[in-house]
Amino acid sequence: DSGVTQTPKHLITATGQRVTLRCSPRSGDLSVYWYQQSLDQGLQFLIQYYNGEERAKGNILERFSAQQFPDLHSELNLSSLELGDSALYFCASSFGTFNTEAFFGQGTRLTVV
Amino acid sequence: GQQLNQSPQSMFIQEGEDVSMNCTSSSIFNTWLWYKQEPGEGPVLLIALYKAGELTSNGRLTAQFGITRKDSFLNISASIPSDVGIYFCAGLGAGSYQLTFGKGTKLSVIP
């Protein structure tokens, strides 16, 4: 158990819908990172938050957004979903701002039908 | 953007054999990480490397940070069935907050 909790574990939704994925970081960790893992693209960095503020942005679509709350949990919002958004979404956390020893959650498997 | 080439893509080996996999980059990295992912789980950090030339072990696993800072190697000795999974390398460039991941090496161990 990495200590990073992601909910839900599985999500099936229709195209055009909006979903919210939730992540609770390890106790004491201030950074939260979101990654998308698909079969053809591998693990792609989406966005990082540190202590409530956006720190870095990767290949995140405009239809996607995230935030980190005062209690340090984070949510990833995916809207206007398309079939190609089906993937595993991972959250990772670390104490500092550099993702050198981040711990990953078990992921949320999103299926868009 | 930065890209990592990880090879081989997949390996089938006999239990007890040693395994080697590597990752190369066109740009310099200051940190190399190796992760293992099992089905239905997130990647788990195995070894972190912070200095060029560094050789670090974690049980039967040994990883090296290449002298050129553009490559890294992971060796697994005396493989066992529970070594099965996908092994990812990841690198962190200077001043970067983003890890760049390789596409993974899928390891299968035949008992």
pLDDT tens column, A70-109: 999 999 999 999 999 999 999 999 998 877 778 999 999 9
pLDDT tens digits for B1-32?
567 899 999 999 999 999 999 999 989 999 99
Average pLDDT, chain B: 93
> What's the pLDDT at A2?
85
Rounded Cα distance between A99 and A93, Å, is 8
Q: Give the pairing type, strands A42-50 and B19-25.
A: unpaired
- What Rg do the C-alpha atoms of chain A give, in angstroms? 13
Is the CB of B44 less than 8 angstroms away from the CB of A4? no
Report the pLDDT averaged over residues A45-64. 94
**Three-state SS at B96:** coil
pLDDT at B35 over 80: yes
> What's the pLDDT at B75?
98
Best residue of B97, B100, B103, B106 to probe chain A, by most A CBs closer than 10 Å? B97
pLDDT tens digits for B41-89?
999 999 999 999 999 999 999 999 999 999 999 999 999 999 999 999 9
- Whole-number percent of chain A with pLDDT over 90: 83
* Cβ-contact B34, B53 below 8 angstroms: no
The single-letter code of the amino acid at A12 is: I
- The least confident of A3-17, B2-16, B87-101 is B87-101
Average pLDDT, chain A: 94
pLDDT at A26 over 60: yes
- The least confident of A31-35, A42-46, B46-50 is A42-46
CA–centroid distance for B82 within its chain: 16
> What's the pLDDT at B1?
57
Please, what's the b/e burial string for A51-89 (b: 16 or more CB within 10 A of its CB; e: otherwise)?
eeeebbebebeeebebebeeebbbbbebeebeeebbbbb
Is the CB of A45 less than 8 angstroms away from the CB of B99? yes
- Whole-number percent of chain B with pLDDT over 90: 83
Asked if A8 has any chain B CB less than 8 Å from its own CB, the reply is: no
B95's CB contacts (< 8 A; 6+ apart) are: none
Of B41, B48, B103, the CB nearest to A100: B48
Report the pLDDT averaged over residues A41-63. 92
